């Protein structure tokens, strides 16, 4: 009886750890067979390039979720970043200064989320939803009511073009940026005491606090990280599109959520982590790419997006039981 249980647990464990990766491999195999264009290196790199925005946003969200919170405002904050950076660049603000200011605004949004959800202990779904909506205001303020900032990103912006559209050899720069961000985020979350404390606060707040961890502070920081990375993903978006557009980030929120929850089913045991999040984001990218290659009508994407979010959350929920 006991050994039986162990065997079952062993097999279950294997499926739980590598199931998502296995599924991804199956999807790739299916696409490679049914649509040969899928495995062209140029297509695969294009997938990576498209994934970059969601990937960076999802890294931020990973922090919020790991520390026991949630952040619905990431898409909205990203949209604000596209608008704000365009507004600054059109006004001839030096590009580096513009980037830093926008990241700081992202941090401020995260700080506000932390104030609501970590300090005042408002339920994160509600607190960050408030930020998500509030942040739409300044976007329209900056565009003067239009849907875009007139004039794109202003005069020629070599740095923005490089980040958004550039290639190093065959590799898109945006993908490299995502990998770099992910590497740093991974180190902070899994190798530093701060990251450990975030997981602890998210795992059992009371236990963490009896160990002298200021769970409010680490959750607050997690929201700030989430805000900064959301702003970063918005910058990349603006660079790729060459303009700032109101409310552009909202579909990305769903993809980021799916990536984080899918990611928490990858290899490590049932908690969100950066590597998993990136895998999740890439998985989502591959699926969307496949849908495109299979000539799925546009409404299919919406349906698919909803199903993926549901499946991802269900899978990860199953794991945490």
Give the interface with other proteins as residue ranges (CB under 8 A). 1, 187, 191-194, 196-197, 199-200, 203-204, 206-213, 269-271
208: which residues sit within 8 A by CB, 6+ positions away?
197, 200, 201, 215
Strand partners, 148: 245
- CA 38 to CA 47: how far, in whole Å? 10
Place of tokens 């794109």: 152
| Contact between residue 241 and residue 82 where contact means Cβ atoms under 8 Å apart | yes
For 274, what's the count of Cα atoms within 13 Å in the CB-facing half-sphere? 23
Q: Tell me the backbone φ, ψ of residue 245, rounded to 5 degrees.
A: -125, 135
Q: How far is the CB of 5 from other proteins (least distance, A)?
A: 11
Judged by beta carbon, residue 66 or residue 72, the one nearer other proteins is 66
Judged by beta carbon, residue 85 or residue 222, the one nearer other proteins is 222
- CA 232 to CA 225: how far, in whole Å? 10
Q: How far is the CB of 16 from other proteins (least distance, A)?
A: 13
Q: How far is the CB of 110 from other proteins (least distance, A)?
A: 19
Q: How far is the CB of 209 from other proteins (least distance, A)?
A: 7
| Contact between residue 263 and residue 279 where contact means Cβ atoms under 8 Å apart | yes
Judged by beta carbon, residue 269 or residue 317, the one nearer other proteins is 269
- CA 116 to CA 133: how far, in whole Å? 14
Judged by beta carbon, residue 36 or residue 203, the one nearer other proteins is 203
Judged by beta carbon, residue 96 or residue 206, the one nearer other proteins is 206
Q: How far is the CB of 237 from other proteins (least distance, A)?
A: 30
- CA 67 to CA 71: how far, in whole Å? 11
- CA 56 to CA 237: how far, in whole Å? 11
Judged by beta carbon, residue 60 or residue 68, the one nearer other proteins is 68
- CA 230 to CA 106: how far, in whole Å? 7
Judged by beta carbon, residue 30 or residue 269, the one nearer other proteins is 269
Q: How far is the CB of 201 from other proteins (least distance, A)?
A: 9
Which parts of 67-123 fold into alpha helices (H)?
74-90, 95-114
∠ CA(293), CA(298), CA(303), 5° rounding? 100
| Contact between residue 257 and residue 235 where contact means Cβ atoms under 8 Å apart | no
Q: How far is the CB of 20 from other proteins (least distance, A)?
A: 18
∠ CA(113), CA(202), CA(180), 5° rounding? 70
- CA 23 to CA 117: how far, in whole Å? 35
Q: How far is the CB of 179 from other proteins (least distance, A)?
A: 20
Judged by beta carbon, residue 200 or residue 235, the one nearer other proteins is 200
Q: How far is the CB of 262 from other proteins (least distance, A)?
A: 18
Judged by beta carbon, residue 232 or residue 272, the one nearer other proteins is 272
């Amino acid at each position: 009886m006991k050994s039986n249980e162990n065997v079952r647990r062993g097999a279950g464990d294997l499926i739980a750890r590598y199931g998502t990766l296995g599924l991804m491999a199956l999807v790739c195999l299916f696409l490679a067979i049914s649509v040969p264009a899928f495995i062209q290196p140029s297509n695969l790199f294009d997938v990576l390039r498209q994934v970059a925005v969601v990937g960076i946003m999802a890294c931020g969200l990973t922090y919020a979720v790991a520390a026991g919170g949630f952040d619905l405002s990431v898409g909205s904050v990203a949209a604000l970043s596209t608008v704000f950076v365009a507004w600054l660049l059109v006004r001839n603000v030096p590009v580096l200064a513009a980037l830093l200011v926008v990241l700081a605004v992202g941090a401020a949004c995260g700080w506000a989320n932390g104030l609501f959800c970590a300090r005042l202990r408002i339920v994160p779904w509600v607190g960050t939803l408030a930020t998500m909506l509030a942040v739409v205001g300044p976007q329209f303020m900056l565009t003067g009511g239009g849907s875009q900032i007139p004039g794109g990103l202003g005069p020629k912006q070599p740095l923005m073009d490089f980040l958004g559209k550039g290639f190093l050899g065959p590799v898109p720069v945006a993908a490299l940026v995502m990998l770099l961000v992910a590497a740093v985020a991974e180190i902070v979350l899994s190798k530093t005491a701060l990251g450990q404390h975030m997981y602890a606060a998210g795992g059992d707040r009371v236990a963490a606090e009896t160990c002298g961890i200021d769970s409010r502070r680490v959750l607050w920081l997690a929201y700030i990280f989430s805000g900064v990375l959301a702003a970063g993903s918005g910058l990349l978006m603006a660079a790729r599109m060459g303009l700032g557009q109101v409310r552009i980030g909202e579909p990305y929120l769903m993809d980021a959520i799916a990536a984080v929850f899918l990611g928490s089913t990858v290899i490590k045991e049932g908690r969100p982590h950066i590597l998993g999040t990136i895998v999740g984001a890439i998985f989502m990218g591959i699926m969307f790419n496949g849908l495109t290659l299979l000539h799925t009508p546009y409404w299919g994407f919406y349906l698919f997006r909803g199903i993926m979010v549901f499946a991802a959350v269900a899978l990860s929920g199953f794991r945490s039981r």
